[in-house]
């Protein structure tokens, strides 16, 4: 009897000890980024659709790279399919299109300030500050709406003030605020007066022949040094598309110049447009070939500024121009979940740096 009890006690003790030894689990914690002092740029990556792996990667002036800033600092995922980054004061706004929210964070610490949930059937893409406490957010959904939101953070409020229909079949993307007018890149590019942000107040931008303009999906709408608006666009010709570069007079809201890019293959969603810091030169890309156009003397470019050759199967997902007039290419490898590679080139075509960011890097914000 004693031996039986002893065996029981031993068995119980052994198993209990086993439980105790391995039952202490630690919550996953992330190391904090070391270098947030001299950030030059932040790369926004979409992440894997549906998996909540959108991320931010910082590049410092020294060349240090920090991955996954938001998650490491806030100890939670940033969201699903991040699209862009807009700075308003000291805050950064990052729309997450499959989470239907905008993460708002401090531009220096990346600590979360607010999560602005959008209880609407929309795909939030880009943010534009309308002044005061209002922002406009574009929507990639067909029959899209412009979402007007309240940024009085820390106050109880309805974060979505109202939405403005952009008309049938119209998806909307990047925006540009020129004076008192808001230009919206879309399947039918449109413009609003800030004083009348309504569907009735919406006008389509038209070419001189009266056609509407379909902008390249994720391409910027930029203003040059003379205040003219530039947009990269395309038209369907049969089943194929043809690229165009438009210069738009914000006063007349019509394209005063149309540059036919038939000789350059413009992709309807991976080509991008950007402008030099001095507003004199616009740049756009066809895959890795980046072309420039002088805004004072626009000509159809015949030779690319840079045209790096690599046979790694990667695709350029975005092209940006930094404040130092260097060109950044975000390259992704379709058919895999490999991290994106970011390349920086000077205007002579020299590769200045290469670093990795998150999955499907799609946007770079320069500080």
Partner 1 sequence: MRKALISGSLILSLFTAKSQTGLVDVDLEDVIVTADMKKRDEAAAGTKVTRISHDDIKTNLTKSLSEILLESSPIQIKSMGQGALATASFRGASSSHTQVMWNGISLNSPQLGNFDLSQVPIYFVDDISLYHGGSAQKEGSGALGGSINFSNEAYYGDKPSGSVLLEAASNETYTGGLNLKFSKNGFSSATRAYYQQSENNYRYLNKVFSNVHTYERRKNADYKQAGIMQELYYKTRKGDMLSLMGWWQADNRSLPQSIIVYDMAHEKNNSRNLRTMVAYDMKRKNHALKFSAAYLHGSMEYTRSFGEMVPDTSNNINSSMIAGADYTYSGFKNIILSGILTYRHDKVESDNYISSKERNTVNATIAASWRITKKLHIDARIPLEWNDETYFARYNVSGRYRLIDEWLTLKASNGYNYRVPTLNDLYWNPGGNPYLKPEKGFSSDFSVMTEPTFGTTHLKLEATYFYMNIDDWIMWVPKGNGYIWEPVNFNNVISQGIEFAGDLKFATGKISHIFSGNYAWIRSVDNSYRQEGTQGKQLPYIPRNRWNAGYRFNFNDKLRLHYNASFTDARFTSADESYQTEAYISHNAEVGYNMKLKSKMNIDFSVKADNIFNAYYESTQYYPMPLRMFWGRVIYSF
For residue 159, the SS3 value is coil
Q: How far is the CB of 267 from partner 1 (least distance, A)?
A: 11
In whole angstroms, give the CA distance from residue 205 to residue 187: 11
Among 77, 185, 243, 250, binds partner 1 (CB under 8 A): 77
**Stretch of 18-26, 82-90, 283-291, 293-301 lying at the interface with partner 1 (CB under 8 A):** 18-26
Report in angstroms how near the CB of residue 38 gets to partner 1 at its nearest: 25
User: Using the rule CB under 8 A, is 18 a contact of partner 1?
Assistant: yes
Task: Report the residue from 33, 79, 95, 250 that binds partner 1 according to the rule CB under 8 A.
Answer: 79
Q: Is residue 325 near partner 1 by the rule CB under 8 A?
A: no
Please give the Cα distance from 315 to 297 (Å, whole number). 31
| Continuous segment of H or E residues that includes residue 265 | none
Query: Applying CB under 8 A, does 334 fall inside the site for partner 1?
Result: yes
Nearer to partner 1, 46 or 187 (CB): 46
Say if CB 252 and CB 232 are below 8 A apart: no
* C-beta closer to partner 1: residue 138 or 292: 138
Question: Could you tell me if 146 and 137 are in contact, meaning their C-beta atoms sit under 8 angstroms apart?
Answer: yes
- Interacting residue with partner 1 among 134, 308, 338, 352 (CB under 8 A): 338
Q: What share of the chain is helix, strand, coil (3-state, %, to 5)?
A: 10, 45, 50
Cα 68 from Cα 52, distance rounded (Å)? 12
Which of 84, 86, 99, 361 binds partner 1 (CB under 8 A)? It is 99
Choose, by CB under 8 A, the member of 60, 87, 109, 112 that binds partner 1.
Answer: 112
Find the binding residues for partner 1 in span 23-52 (CB under 8 A). Answer: 23, 25-28, 46, 48-52
Q: How far apart are CA 14 and CA 16, in angstroms?
A: 5
165 binds partner 1 (CB under 8 A): no
Contact 231, 270 (CB under 8 A): no
What DSSP assignment string belongs to 277-341?
A: TTSSEEEEEETTEEEEEESSS-----S-SB-----S--EEEEEEE-TTS-EEEEEE-TTS-PPPE
Alpha-carbon distance of 114 to 93, in angstroms, equals 10
310 is an interface residue for partner 1 by CB under 8 A: no
Site of interaction with partner 1 (CB under 8 A):
4, 7-8, 11-12, 15, 18-19, 22-23, 25-28, 46, 48-53, 67-68, 74, 76-77, 79-80, 98-101, 112, 114-115, 117-121, 269, 333-339, 359-360
């Amino acid at each position: 009897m004693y031996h039986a009890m002893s065996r029981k006690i031993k068995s119980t003790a052994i198993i209990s000890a086993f439980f105790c030894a391995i039952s202490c689990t630690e919550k996953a914690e992330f190391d904090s980024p070391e270098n947030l002092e001299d950030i030059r740029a932040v790369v926004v990556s979409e992440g894997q659709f549906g998996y909540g792996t959108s991320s931010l990667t910082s590049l410092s002036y020294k060349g240090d790279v920090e991955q996954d800033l938001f998650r490491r600092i806030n100890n939670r995922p940033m969201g699903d399919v991040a699209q862009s980054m807009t700075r308003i004061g000291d805050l950064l706004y990052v729309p997450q299109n499959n989470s239907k929210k905008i993460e708002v964070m401090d531009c220096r610490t990346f600590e979360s300030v607010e999560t602005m949930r959008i209880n609407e059937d929309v795909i939030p893409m880009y943010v534009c500050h309308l002044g005061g406490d209002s922002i406009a957010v574009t929507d990639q959904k067909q029959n899209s709406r412009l979402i007007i939101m309240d940024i009085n953070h820390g106050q109880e409020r309805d974060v979505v003030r109202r939405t403005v229909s952009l008309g049938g079949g119209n998806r909307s993307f990047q925006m540009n605020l020129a004076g008192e007018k808001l230009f919206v890149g879309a399947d039918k590019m449109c413009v609003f007066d800030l004083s009348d942000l309504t569907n009735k107040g919406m006008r389509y931008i038209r070419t001189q022949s009266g056609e509407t303009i379909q902008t390249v999906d994720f391409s910027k709408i930029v203003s040059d040094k003379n205040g003219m608006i530039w947009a990269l666009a395309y038209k369907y010709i049969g089943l194929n598309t043809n690229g165009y570069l438009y210069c738009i007079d914000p006063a007349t809201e019509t394209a005063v110049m149309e540059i036919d890019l038939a000789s350059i293959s413009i992709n309807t969603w991976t080509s991008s447009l950007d402008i030099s810091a001095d507003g004199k030169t616009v740049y756009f890309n066809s895959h890795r070939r980046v072309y420039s156009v002088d805004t004072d003397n626009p000509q159809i470019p015949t030779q690319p500024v840079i045209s790096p050759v690599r046979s790694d199967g990667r695709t350029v997902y975005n092209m940006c121009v930094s404040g130092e007039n260097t060109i950044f290419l975000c390259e992704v490898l379709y058919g895999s979940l490999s991290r994106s590679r970011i390349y920086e080139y000077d205007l002579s075509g020299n590769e200045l740096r290469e670093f990795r960011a998150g999955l499907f890097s799609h946007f770079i914000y320069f500080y």
